Amino acid sequence: MKKIPSTIGPWHVYRQKPSTMEYGYYYDAVFKLPFAKDKRHVRIWIPESYDFANPTPHPVMYMSDGQNLVDRHLSAYGDWHLDRVIRDLAVEGYPQPILVGIDCPKDPLQRSNELNPPFPVQAKFLRVGGPNHPIANQYIDYIVDELKPQIDELLCTDKRVEATAIGGSSMGGIMSFYGFLAYPETFGYAHAFSPPFFFYKKKELKEMVGLFQTRPDNHNKVFLYVGGKGFEHRFVAGNFFMKKYLESLGFGKDQLGFAFDRKEPHHEEAWYKYSYDGLRFWLGGLR
């Protein structure tokens, strides 16, 4: 086994046992985040292709719900098994990205507010506990202005726009989609799984896209996934609407990936299953 550093800046190697992580190296640190009252774990997963003694640039994906990325024992609902996905895709010849994940707060409403864009949510969802003070713009500003520069300084990262991604599921899916729109000069790929577009009227969705004058170019990619079973069924119409709207703006098959599986529920195992397709879509352009 390679010798790895015990610390990377403020991050310490994480050796929790038991652990379901099968591949890679995990580092953990706790930060006071500028948009939140509570301190939060920020985690770095590094693939085994990363040579600490003589590193070469690696792509990076910044993700919400950092506790859910590679270890079921850190999560209340299961994990994405992204270590397994990246290991399997490496066998196919795809580059291996670094993952940087911000843990979510324990309060569901706080999480919803942190991960939702600053656009009006339909009143019927506010009445049942939907996000009432969305601050995803502050969340993403933290990634762009503070976290990413720190990661770029401490690790050998591929700093090209097309090699920098933002991802998440459910609330994290809408956050990653919004971040992709808000910072096209930073994020060349959005891994947006089960985003709750239904929170917004079509007018607001079009404004969300149009506000940033999003147009496809040679590095600008988004992958949308939605299931269709149980609670996930309510996500379907909004994702198909967004797919058609982006296509109307000129996003072709090289810029817009889309997957729909009516048999899959709103769960990490589904997001794991379709992460193979999403990461192929992103990383294939970096080979």
Average pLDDT for 95-117: 95
According to the model, what pLDDT value does residue 90 have? 98
For the segment 132-153, what is each residue's pLDDT rounded down to a tens digit? 889 999 999 999 999 999 999 9
Q: Give me the percent of the chain exceeding a pLDDT of 70.
A: 97
Q: pLDDT tens digits for 185-219? A: 999 999 999 999 999 999 999 988 886 665 656 56
Per-residue confidence band for 173, with pLDDT thresholds at 50, 70 and 90: very high
Question: Residue 1 pLDDT more than 80?
Answer: no
The candidate with the shortest Cα–Cα distance to 190, out of 172, 205, 208, 217, is 172
| pLDDT tens readout for residues 207-256 | 888 866 656 565 689 999 999 999 999 999 999 999 999 999 888 999 99
Using an 8 Å Cβ cutoff, are 198 and 226 in contact? no
Position 60 pLDDT exceeds 70: yes
Q: CB neighbours of 57 closer than 8 A, spacing ≥ 6?
A: 156, 157, 158, 159, 163
Q: Rounded to whole angstroms, how far apart are CA atoms 182 and 81?
A: 28
pLDDT at residue number 215: 61
Residue 200: both structure tokens together? 């917004």
Q: Are 159 and 60 in contact (CB under 8 A)?
A: no
36 and 105 in contact (C-beta within 8 Å)? yes
Query: What is the residue type of 166?
Result: I
Is the confidence at residue 128, as pLDDT, over 90? no
Residue 32: the pLDDT is 96
**What's phi and psi for 265, nearest 5 deg?**
-85, 180
Q: Over range 65-74, report the average pLDDT.
A: 95
Instruction: Tell me the average pLDDT of the chain.
Output: 93
SS3 for 148-206, per residue? HHHHHHHCCECCCHHHEEEEEECHHHHHHHHHHHHCCCCCCEEEEECCCHHHCCHHHHH
